[in-house]
Amino acid sequence: MIRSVLIAVVLLAATPAALVAQGPAEGSPPSLAELIDNLANAQHRGSFFRDRCVYFQRLYVERFKERTPEGVYENSIYQRLSVAEVGADKDREVIARLVSDTDGKLKPKAVSESSRNVFGAPRFLELLFFPLYPERKSLFEITDLGEAVIGDRKCRILRIYPHSDAEPLVEGVFYVDPVTGHPVRLVVDRLHHFELLDDNLDGLVELHAQVEYRTLPNGVTVPQACRADGNSRISRYKGFFKIDFLEWGYRPNPLYPDVVPYFEKMPDFNDPAPAAFRRPDTDATSPEQP
């Protein structure tokens, strides 16, 4: 199902109060049902906000000839680093436009107008980062696996397993805040039926991913980083691969005035590229800086 249709359905059916985390009775932890509702609402709010912003993505892709039985990737044959500015165009289609790029040997190359819209991934990433919209809860079997600590944060662990073959879905494990339900991490074990999104994805033999989330000062939780690896039979991307992904630089898209109140809640918000991803030979703080 196309993501924009899903969002439209929710926006027509949901009041703003429905998008606020449902708290448990004072002094008691949320039930599993409440926690799942909170997670789903946090996912929807993050998707709604992100859709109405302009932001930056950095993508590093490395391909390999071989992977050992122990899972070690060997004989690198391709390395590419790209930065794109992402946002809806005048037709309200989310487009990723290259602002910098390299060839397959990490040598910088010019970005021509004809090659600016080369990231074919906005819808793919949307479904990877936000698999649990409120209207999708019934498509998953969701199991409570207990607790874990990530960094210094105590998290509840929720496993999501699809039981529908009607649309692309993610199988994996969410680590969530035990009170608010906001996602902290998502470990993706498998993609189900992503060929329904794009026929070429039938050639994505294997994908494992770990998505890290952050909660902004306005209370909205969005993806910040993702690392993935796997195996592909897709002609242009054939072979074993690793991916490092980073997202930052949120600002309101003028096409969507309804996102402005989210930024009014954080008037001093500044979202530059993390220092680890800036070039060491410059002091630039522009969000475009990879």
> pTM for this structure?
0.83
Q: In the Cβ-directed half-sphere of 79, how many Cα atoms lie within 13 Å? A: 6
219: exposed, middle or buried (C-beta count within 10 Å: 0-12, 13-18, 19+)?
Answer: middle
How far CA 275 is from CA of 86, 140, 163, 241, in Å, comes to: 20, 38, 41, 25
The confidence score (pLDDT) of residue 9 equals 34
Run means of pLDDT, 10 residues per run, the chain, 290 residues: 38 38 62 97 98 95 93 93 91 87 93 58 87 94 96 96 90 97 97 86 91 97 96 86 95 97 96 65 40
Residues in the chain: 290
Cβ–Cβ < 8 Å for 289, 282: yes
Residue 79 · residue 64 · CB < 8 Å: no
Q: Is 112 exposed, middle or buried (0-12, 13-18, 19+ CB in 10 A)?
A: exposed
Task: Please give the angle made by the CA atoms of 55, 262 and 119, to the nearest 5 degrees.
Answer: 20
Give pLDDT, residue 113. Answer: 62
CA distance 60 to 51: 23
Q: Quick one: pLDDT at residue 154?
A: 96
Q: How far is CA 47 from CA 7, 10, 54, 97, in A?
A: 8, 11, 13, 19
Q: Which residue's entry shows tokens 């949307």?
A: 126
- The answer to whether 241 and 64 are in contact (CB under 8 A) is yes
Helices within 28-105 (DSSP H only): 32-51
DSSP 91: T
Distances (CA, A) of 27 to 152, 175, 284: 22, 22, 47
Give pLDDT, residue 203.
Answer: 87
Amino acid present at 36: I
Tokens coding 58: 């950095």
